[in-house]
Amino acid sequence: MIQQIAFILVTLGAFGLAWRAFSRVRRNILLGQDEEISGDTAQRWRNVLLVSFGQQKMFKRWISAVFHFFIYAAFLITQVELIEIFIDGASGQHRFFADKLGGFYTFVISFIEVLSILAFIATIIFLARRNLLKVPRFWKPEMKGWPRLDGNLILIFEIILLIGIFSMNGADVLLQDIDPQHYPETGQLAVSTWLGPALFGGLSEGTLQVVERFGWWLHLMMVFVFLNYLPYSKHLHILLAFPNTYYARLKPRGEMDNMPEVMNEVRSMMGLTEGEGAVDMEADLPEFGANDVFTLSWKNIMDAYSCTECGRCTSVCPANITGKKLSPRKILMDIRDRAEEIGRNIDSGDAQFAKDKEKPVSRGNYDDGKSLFDYTTPEELHACTTCNACVEACPVLINPLEPILKMRRYEILTLSQGPQEWVPMFTSMENSGSAWAIPDDRDKWAKEAVKG
C-alpha cells in the first residue's frame, strides 16, 4: 500500500510539473502571428507517417540513421512495458499481463530487450561521435555550452533507463524460481534469462527483491525525469516532429510568399486604390517582414522548438561551408532562445517589460527594447544564398529559410538598411525597373528585333 501511495503521488507530481512546462512552450509558440494552414490533408498525413514515424529523411545518411532508428524504435516499443509498470504501480500487482498473455508476453518483452541492447550500442556510438570523434557539425560555435551538454545528457539518460530495465528484468527472472507465487512466469526472455544469472546469480532473495524494485523505480523515475526534461531540451522534437511535419509547407521549395503589404503599396503607386485591397492613404506605413517572434508566424516558432540541433542544415549550407557566419541551425536556436526570453519576462510580471505600464505585461503589451537582431546579426542574414539546401536537409521538414527572408525583408524594407553592395541594385530597380543602371527601356531589344 505504501508503494502504491508513493507511486500515485510521484506520478501526479511529475505530470503536474510537465503540464506546466508544456503549457509554457505552447504559449511561447503562440507568441507568433496567426498563419493560415491549407493544402492537401492527405499529403500532410503522408508527411507525418513517412517523415516522422518512418524517419524517411534520416536515411539520406544511412549510418547515423540506422543507429538513430534503434534508439527511436526502442523508445516507442518500450512504452508497452511502461503501460504495465503504470498498472502495477496503481494496482499493487506484479507483471499484470504476464499470466494473461503467456507466450505473446514473452515475445513482447524479449523484443523490447533486443531493441534495448541495440539502443545501448547506438547510444555508446553517438556519445563517441560527439565527444571522441568530434563530428564537425556538433562542434560549431552555436553548440558551445548547454546545447552540447544537452546532447550528451539525453544519451546518458538513455543508459540509465536501460540499467533500470535490465536490473528489473534480470532480478525478476531469478525471483521467479525462488517465489513463483509473487513473481509470475515470464518465459525465456531474450536477454534477461542469461544476463540476470550472470549479474545477480548468488544473491539472496532479499537482495534480489531490492535490485528488482530498484530497477522498477529507476525505470519509472527516468521516464518522469525525461518527461519533465523535454520542454527544456532539443529533444522536444520527439513530440513536436509530428505536428511540425503535418503543418509543413506543401509549396515547392524556393517558392516565396508574396507580401500583401508590398502588393497594396504597389497598387497605391499605380492608382489602384479602390475596391478590394484598397490602401488607406491616411494610415501609417506598414512594417514589412519580421524583427521579432511577435512578427514571425507561430509556425516559424514551432519550427524553432522542433529543431533537433542535428546540424544537417548547417553542414550543407554553402555559406557556412565557405567560412561565412551563417548557420541555419543557429537562426532557429536564436528564435527559440528569444521566445524563451520573452516567455520568462511575461511570466515574471515585471512592469519594466510592459509597453503600457498601467497594464499587466502580456503578449500584446510587451517591450523589452530588444529584438531578434540582438541574437542574429545582419552579417549572418546577408550570407544566405536562398539555395534551399537547409530546407532539403532537415529531417523534420523545418524551413530555416523562411525566418531568414522575413528578417532580411524587415531590414531592407522597414529599416531601409542592408549591405552597401546591394543599394545600387535596389535603387536601379526602383528607378528604372532593372537590376543594372541602364537608361534604355528594358524591352528595347525586343522592339529592335521586330524592326529588324
Is 136 contained in some domain?
yes
Position 9 confidence tier, pLDDT thresholds 50, 70, 90:
very high
More confident residue, 76 or 214: 214
Is 451 contained in some domain?
no
Residue 431 has pLDDT above 80, yes or no: no
Same domain? 223 vs 294:
no
Is 433 contained in some domain?
no
Among residues 231, 257, 249, the alpha carbon closest in space to that of 339 is found at 231
Per cent of the chain over pLDDT 90 is: 67
Is 429 contained in some domain?
no
Same domain? 58 vs 196:
yes
Contact in structure between 115 and 73 (CB atoms under 8 Å): yes
Domain endpoint, select from 233, 250, 278: 233
Q: Give residue 3's pLDDT.
A: 84
Q: Give residue 415's pLDDT.
A: 86
Same domain? 342 vs 202:
no
Torsion of CA 385, 28, 230, 134, to 10 degrees: 30
Same domain? 212 vs 334:
no
Which range is least confidently modeled, 86-100, 362-376, 429-443? 429-443
Q: Which residues contact 195 (CB under 8 A, 6 or more apart)?
A: 166, 170
Per cent of the chain over pLDDT 70 is: 93
Q: Give residue 270's pLDDT.
A: 63
Same domain? 107 vs 193:
yes
Residue 417 has pLDDT above 90, yes or no: no
CATH of the domain at 369: 1.10.1060
Structural domain total, the chain: 2
Same domain? 80 vs 194:
yes
What is the residue-averaged pLDDT of the chain? 89
Domain endpoint, select from 233, 249, 264: 233
> Which pLDDT tens digit goes with each residue over 398-415?
999 999 999 999 998 888
Same domain? 148 vs 294:
no
Tell me phi and psi for residue 127, to 5 degrees: -65, -40
Question: How much is the average pLDDT of 203-209?
Answer: 93
Tell me phi and psi for residue 59, to 5 degrees: -80, 10
> Which pLDDT tens digit goes with each residue over 156-201?
999 999 999 999 999 999 999 898 888 999 989 999 999 999 999 8
> Which pLDDT tens digit goes with each residue over 41-63?
999 999 999 999 998 998 888 88
Is 163 contained in some domain?
yes
Query: Over the Cα atoms of the chain, what is R_g?
Result: 28
pTM: 0.88
Q: Give residue 180's pLDDT.
A: 86
Is 70 contained in some domain?
yes
Angstrom distance (rounded) from CA 212 to CA 193: 14
> Which pLDDT tens digit goes with each residue over 332-346?
999 999 999 999 999
**Three state DSSP letters for the chain:** CHHHHHHHHHHHHHHHHHHHHHHHHHHHHCCCECCCCCCCHHHHHHHHHHHHHCCHHHHHCHHHHHHHHHHHHHHHHHHHHHHHHHHHHHHCCCCCCHHHHCHHHHHHHHHHHHHHHHHHHHHHHHHHHHHCCCCHHHCCHHHCCHHHHHHHHHHHHHHHHHHHHHHHHHHHHHHHHHCCCCCCCCCCCCCHHHHHHHHHCCCCHHHHHHHHHHHHHHHHHHHHHHHHHHHHCHHHHHHHHHHHHHCCCCCCCCCCCCCHHHHHHHHHHCCCCCCCCCCCCCCCCCCCCCCCCCCCEHHHHHHHHHCCCCCHHHHHCHHHHCCCCCCHHHHHHHHHHHHHHHHHHHHHCCHHHCCCCCCCCECCECCCCCCHHHCCCHHHHHCCCCCCHHHHHCCCCCCCHHHHHHHHHHHHHHCCCCCCCCHHHHHHHHHHCCCCCCCCCCCHHHHHHHHC
Residue 281 has pLDDT above 70, yes or no: no
Residue 275 has pLDDT above 60, yes or no: no
Same domain? 216 vs 310:
no
Same domain? 191 vs 332:
no
> Cell 534604355, residue?
440
> Which pLDDT tens digit goes with each residue over 235-255?
999 999 999 999 998 888 777
Domain endpoint, select from 214, 233, 252: 233
Is 346 contained in some domain?
yes
> Cell 512504452, residue?
79
Same domain? 97 vs 195:
yes
Same domain? 173 vs 305:
no
Is 246 contained in some domain?
no
Same domain? 67 vs 152:
yes
What cell does 401 get? 529559410
Q: Give residue 323's pLDDT.
A: 94
Show the domain range for 308.
287-418
